[in-house]
Structure 1
């Protein structure tokens, strides 16, 4: 990535950026994504930030849980189907920014799902390892991945790839990191 004299990062290749909520405004300013995915619980869902076209902002109101818990909204197959449809409509002319509250679980799952959805036939293990290599804290939400695995007809390979990673580096909040959309192009 090159940096302009103004300090604004210029993506040289198609990238997926993963961020905690606290870094979203800076990420929008620095990487200028054309599309934004927000994965937050219903109480903290944000409006479309300045710099993003509202129709290019997918807002999925889900809690970061992997099973049914009273009064919380688990990521469902419908949410994941919306995510897949949204990223398949991304023109890939500018970066995609994905965030959740901490940038650890829902957002890293969404990035992994995006890689799998847009690179059919590429080994899921490679994408799981890439996500972890770029974000040592990444711990993708297993329920989201399980739904995507079924929707994308991956026969359990996506879930197995995430399980093989084990837990990510322990932290309260992740940091902004980038993943190349096409394997081997960073």
Structure 2
């Protein structure tokens, strides 16, 4: 996503938030586990527009956990609309999207925002840009499926997610066991 006012895109995890403080962040999308406290790092940031979403990084129902749902991705898209409405203000912006580790929910949200802001951009290019922003990206497949539907991408985001997973497994073979251990084996199978 690079509307006229947003010149910088960043994805990170909670532990990296203090490092972003000096980078003139103007817009923040925080995706946190429901029970996680609000990160204190934001107290040191300059004034910014921030939206907080709370759900777990899972792809299958687990008792006591909040599965990503279409309304969460709709909230990401509303955030994107709010950012786009600020285009005409002239100031250069820096969009920061974070989750716990900066690997799954945040990368799915950033891909959703980029697809929303660039409806004519190919899915392949969007995933390439995502990997440039966050090389360790492993977007939450459930969130991408909802985004694909909500943005009327006709399954192309999900198809390119498969390619992305395949590429990531070649680059970082340890992801295969890690994702299986996290209950995300279905995503590993998507790469096959």
- Cα distance in 2, alignment partners of residues 89 and 79 from structure 1: 15
Aligned with residue 82 of structure 1, among 72, 75, 78:
75
Asked if the contact 2:9/2:133 (under 8 Å) is kept, the reply is: no
Runs of 5+ in structure 2 lacking a partner? 1-5, 179-192
Aligned to 2:150: 151
| TM-score of the superposed pair, with normalisation by structure 2 | 0.75
Asked if the contact 1:20/1:102 (under 8 Å) is kept, the reply is: yes
Partner-residue secondary structure (3-state), 2:22: helix
| TM-score of the superposed pair, with normalisation by structure 1 | 0.78
The alpha-carbon deviation at position 74 of structure 1 amounts to: 1.1
1:23 and 2:16 are equivalent in the alignment: yes
1:15–1:72 CA distance, 2 compared to 1 (3 A): same
1:41 and 2:33 are equivalent in the alignment: yes
Larger Cα-atom Rg: 2
More helix by share: 2
- Cα distance in 1, alignment partners of residues 34 and 77 from structure 2: 20
1:163 and 2:162 are equivalent in the alignment: yes
1:105 and 2:97 are equivalent in the alignment: no
- Cα distance in 1, alignment partners of residues 69 and 47 from structure 2: 25
RMSD: 2.2
Aligned to 2:136: 137
Asked if the contact 1:19/1:100 (under 8 Å) is kept, the reply is: yes
Runs of 5+ in structure 1 lacking a partner? 1-12, 173-186
Asked if the contact 1:39/1:107 (under 8 Å) is kept, the reply is: yes
* Bigger shift: residues 44-53 or 123-132: 44-53
Partner-residue secondary structure (3-state), 2:93: coil
1:37-63: CA deviation from partner (whole Å, max 9, x where unpaired): 111110114168222547x21111010
Partner-residue secondary structure (3-state), 2:51: strand
